[in-house]
Chain A
Amino acid sequence: MDSRHFHHALKISEQLCMGCSHCMSVCPTEAIRIRGGKAILYENRCVDCGECFKACPVDAIYIDQDDFNRIHDFKYRIALVPAVFIGQFPESVSRDQIYHALISCGFTHIAEVELGTEVLLRHMHEYAEKHTDKKPLISSFCPAILRLIQVKFPSLVGNIMLLKPPLDITALYCRKKLTEEGFNPAEVGVFYITPCAAKIAAIKSPVGEDYSIITGVINMDFIYNKVKKRLASDKETGSMQIPNPDLPGSAMRWTLTNGEAELMQGRSLAIDEIHNVIEFLEKVENEEITDIDFLELRACDQSCAGGVLNSANRFLVAERLLNKDFNEGGGQKDGIHAYSEYLDRRISIQEIKPRSMMKLDEDMAEAMKKMDRATQIMQLLPLTDCGACGAPNCQAFANDIVQGEANIRQCIFIQKSREHSGELTSEDSLGILKGIWGNDKF
């Protein structure tokens, strides 16, 4: 698959971007550069983790969502609601109130994403028993982590559990159930309320699957505002009975840190926040860390409670999901259990292929030549990682030069030296800086 065709949910608004380079500094995969006073994205490096979104001071980075009004293209509209959505609200707002408000926003059915976790957990246990040769097994839950492993840790792709995430399992179940109840499948739209960008990207270009069964994605902050408004208007929001009893507590906690690891057998570890994950995977890749059976890896601090589309503070979101007296015992098992066999047959995903972003060239001999050149260039650079060239650090800049994406004269230290020696006029030097940072900054 050509990496250029990967969908990214994170977009940069050229109009709003002021080229401050905050996003470039925080990007864990060095996917951002500054050109003409605007941030630009190297799409094949981006893993949709959302760090840039959090860092942007002017909201120029936005998350592309489907048009909410599109839900009305369907006669039946299922909202797939993640547990963290409940966590956006204080304890005083009940789950039923939230769901009623969602229905009044225009949905006809509500399903909780974590409904599928029980079926998945059984498969995760079976998978772990079957694949004792692959240690550690890595959860396929977080789509930003899957992409991170593909681009930065290609030798670990074989450790990823080839199982669908809960969202897909729940979506399959909902569709099947409604079809069996006599609904016309063409009239059913399944809309996922997402707490992060990576989930959108995963739905638009799934890793390990040919297509997604989710019709559309709605950003959680958008729907939060809608629901909040309805709750505030304090109207009785219709008489529709919410059919779903509470999910078991373990399902409600699934998307929080340790939500999976605590349910796995053997030595299991949960790591959240993308830099922590990168640090740990470096050691796993070298086999410096061994004898771990299962790794739960999440790109966001506090896992999905820290997703960039959460409106509430991530610690409070986690608190509500952890402390609420969510049903520890039964929960809504019966419904989905009747479909176990159907879901069992569809739970696998295809092999995940590496797509390394690190390589300097497809051809090794060519890559060696480029590396030699980059090493020579590094000897000329100041190694201050100042970012004035429009690249996040000197090494990334040197690599950009050998790839033909940048010119060494973009380095401000080189410019000053060449101005001093008369090789470069001050007009040229200013012109180069304008090319990087835009005319309006001078």
Chain B
Amino acid sequence: MHFEYQVDGGNFSNAGVASSQFKKILKQLNVDPGLIKRIVVALYEAEVNIVAHAYRGIIKIDVNIDKVRIALIDEGPGIPDISKAMEAGFSTASPKVREMGFGAGMGLQNIRNNVDQLDIESVVGKGTKVEFEVNLG
């Protein structure tokens, strides 16, 4: 099954809407609660990353019987140094974003800790694609 959600950059009051909608779908599909939690936590982090850093983005999700594959593709500034961005506590979020409780520099870490496979591709000045998988078996 395929699902898509649009995400607006900078719209913090709507951050997490896609994650909540997809969470409801996972519950209806009777996915194990522990797995739902991992998927949704990773998805929420990645969704907030688009809101906090990019101009706009799209979330594409494929659900199969054995795994959930999620791609978050944004148009934004891109990540110059992905390995640095993966370090705990590293953040380029503006003070304004941090004031709202986002941008602590734990996002990508938190995604990595919750998924079975993670790929990040980024082109500076163009955008970022975060793709991850969680096995359901």
Contact = CB atoms under 8 A, between A and B. Distances in A.
B40 interface: yes
B95 to A, nearest CB: 20
A314 B132 CA distance: 50
5 contacts: A286-B40, A287-B41, A358-B24, A364-B65, A372-B1
Interface in A134-159: 154-155, 157
A338 interface: no
Interface string B15-26: 010011001110
A389 B16 CA distance: 32
A237 B136 CA distance: 66
A359 B27 CA distance: 6
A361 B65 CA distance: 13
A-side interface mostly: helix
Contact of B65 (A282, A286, A368, A372): A368
B65 A155 contact: no
Contacts of B28: 358-360, 367, 371, 399
Interface in B32-86: 33-34, 36-37, 40-41, 44, 63, 65
| Tier of interface size on chain B | 20 to 34
Contacts of A363: 30
Interface of B: 1, 16, 19-20, 23-25, 27-31, 33-34, 36-37, 40-41, 44, 63, 65, 136
Contacts of B40: 285-287
Contact of A288 (B29, B37, B44): B44
Contacts of A360: 28-30
Given A356-B33, A358-B27, A359-B30, A371 B1 contact: yes
Contacts, number: 62
A19 to B, nearest CB: 28
A339 B16 CA distance: 49
Nearest to A354: B33
A360 B36 CA distance: 15
Nearest to B31: A364
A427 to B, nearest CB: 37
A368 B68 CA distance: 13
A368 B27 contact: no
A365 B65 contact: yes
B30 A155 contact: no
A285 B63 contact: no
Interface in A263-288: 282-283, 285-288
Nearest to A153: B33
A282 B30 contact: no
B30 A367 contact: yes
A362 interface: yes
A157 B34 CA distance: 10
Contacts of A155: 33-34, 36-37
